[in-house]
Amino acid sequence: MKLNEIFLSIQGESLSSGFPTIFVRFTGCNLRCSYCDTTYAYNEGKEMTPEDVFKEVCKYYCKRVCLTGGEPLLQNRLLQLIELMEDYIVTIETNGSININNLQLKNKKHSFVLDIKAPSSKCSDQMLMENFKFLEDKDEIKFVIGDRADYEWSKQIISSFHKKGTITFSPVFRKLDYAKMVRWILEDKLNVRFQLQLHKIIWDPHKTGV
């Protein structure tokens, strides 16, 4: 497996938002989203074994880990790494284009955060909607919304495919008027979670390793 960075920070997104979390960022992604903020993880990194990665994770005090990227599901031996972290709350952030059923999570503390890329990402045509079938209540689905068209598209996807898992609507940082998007959600009586990316509010939005 190829690693870009491992660091401790505050989780800025998802249901774990606000909790100290160890981020394990893998190198490589099969998508090229228009708003990607981790382009540095496309190629840079070093080869490590799952055991080496786990040793790094164990250096930190906290028991929450976020596997991210890049795209974690492109890594070989990912399941071995996840199985080493049996005592940890682990979230696997995946970009929606790869079959999540290939990674069988047996531990109830381990869950997916499935990103669904809306049209303004320029990658929506690569989303694998079959993934909705494999989600459980503990999992999350995140829609990154760049404009009203993305919002309408996301509503449509939810009504067509959603069965289980918490839905989050996350505006593209500083692109959409946040208050306006909250009004849309309330007017449409959507049972979705609105989120801002905490780490971009706390730190310089271009800073890496936070």
And the tokens for 126? 């690569």
Of 51 and 130, the one with the shorter C-beta distance to ligand SF4 is 130
Within 8 A by CB and 6+ apart from 170, the residues are 13, 142, 143, 144, 145, 194, 195, 196, 197
- Give the footprint of ligand SF4 on residues 80-139 (CB under 6 A): 95
Contact present, 108 and 86 (Cβ < 8 Å): no
Considering the complex, what minimum distance in angstroms separates the CB of residue 183 from ligand SF4?
26
Out of 70, 72, 165, 171, the only residue in the binding site for ligand SF4 (CB under 6 A) is: 70
Considering the complex, what minimum distance in angstroms separates the CB of residue 13 from ligand SF4?
12
Contact present, 119 and 150 (Cβ < 8 Å): yes
Considering the complex, what minimum distance in angstroms separates the CB of residue 84 from ligand SF4?
24
Considering the complex, what minimum distance in angstroms separates the CB of residue 67 from ligand SF4?
13
Task: Sheet containing 2-10: give its strands across.
Answer: 46-47, 2-10, 20-26, 64-68, 89-94, 110-117, 140-145, 166-171, 193-194
- Asked if 36 is part of the footprint of ligand SF4 (rule: CB under 6 A), the reply reads yes
Of 38 and 107, the one with the shorter C-beta distance to ligand SF4 is 38
Question: Which residues of the shown chain bind ligand SF4 in the complex (CB under 6 A)?
Answer: 29, 31-33, 36, 38, 69-71, 95
